[in-house]
Amino acid sequence: GENVEQHPSTLSVQEGDSAVIKCTYSDSASNYFPWYKQELGKGPQLIIDIRSNVGEKKDQRIAVTLNKTAKHFSLHITETQPEDSAVYFCAALAGGTSYGKLTFGQGTILTVHP
């Protein structure tokens, strides 16, 4: 089955700096890659996603890049703010017979210091 590795496990930045979180996946049939933000005690919220036919996608301060050949994708947050502090999860959606099944990374705890 699919395996998703996420790094780093913790990330600490100063307000205004950029933050980058990286994920690798194992199944070349995976074709959809969402990123979720989870605040303490709440359910994950989708913040951005990308499909395998696109190399990069941006939404204001957030961007995601995908390298299908290397099987890795990254989340980029620019001009970080204290409210960006949360746990971020990447995920990969399997294709084929496991259609609809998301496999998640272990999560990155992002702390933005004022």
Partner 1 sequence: DGGITQSPKYLFRKEGQNVTLSCEQNLNHDAMYWYRQDPGQGLRLIYYSQIVNDFQKGDIAEGYSVSREKKESFPLTVTSAQKNPTAFYLCASSSLGLTDTQYFGPGTRLTVL
Which residues are at the interface with partner 1 (CB under 8 A)?
1, 4, 6, 32, 34, 36, 41-46, 49, 89, 93, 99-107
What minimum distance in Å lies between the beta carbon of 101 and partner 1?
6
Residue placing its CB nearer to partner 1 in the complex, 4 or 86: 4
User: Residue 62 forms beta bridges with which residues?
Assistant: 59, 77
What minimum distance in Å lies between the beta carbon of 110 and partner 1?
14
What minimum distance in Å lies between the beta carbon of 32 and partner 1?
5
E-strand ranges in the chain read 4-7, 10-14, 19-25, 32-38, 45-51, 56-59, 62-67, 72-77, 86-93, 102-104, 108-113
